[in-house]
Amino acid sequence: MARKGGAPGNLKPFVKGNDPRRNLKGAPPVLPELKEALRAILSEQVKGKTKLEIVLRSLQKRASNGDVRAIQELLDRFYGKTKQNYAIEGLPQDISINVLSKESADKLKDFLKDDKPD
């Protein structure tokens, strides 16, 4: 637990340059063996159906019974996740952002050049 007013006594800040605690290689890659193992397990047949079909039918039953998480998972997998919208507060409401084509941007640049006083 951190002490009030500062960092815990047993923690030290990173040293600039080569600090042995830093992970310079990044996160480890996803294990290809794991993907192959999952593919093999989910493609196994049980009573004429693959295990993947059994899992999906179970998820569908839960969604049919009103399980919101199951509904969300099915919709996300089928339609893709919805885009998140962000609102910025404190700005005037009449601001609009328009994207110009290259041709329009060039015309605007030429117009602004001509408008400058000499």
Percent of the chain with pLDDT over 70: 81
The pLDDT of residue 41 is above 90: yes
Nearest to 74 by CA among 89, 64, 83: 64
**Which residue type does 107 have?**
K
Residue type at position 91 = L
What's the pTM? 0.45
Tokens coding 38: 């999952």
- Rounded Cα gap, residues 97 and 95, in angstroms: 7
pLDDT of residue 16: 82
Q: How confident is the model at residue 91 (pLDDT cuts 50, 70, 90)?
A: low
Average pLDDT over residues 57-84: 88
Reported as type and span, the H/E element at residue 102 is: helix 102-115
Which position has the higher pLDDT, 5 or 87?
Answer: 87
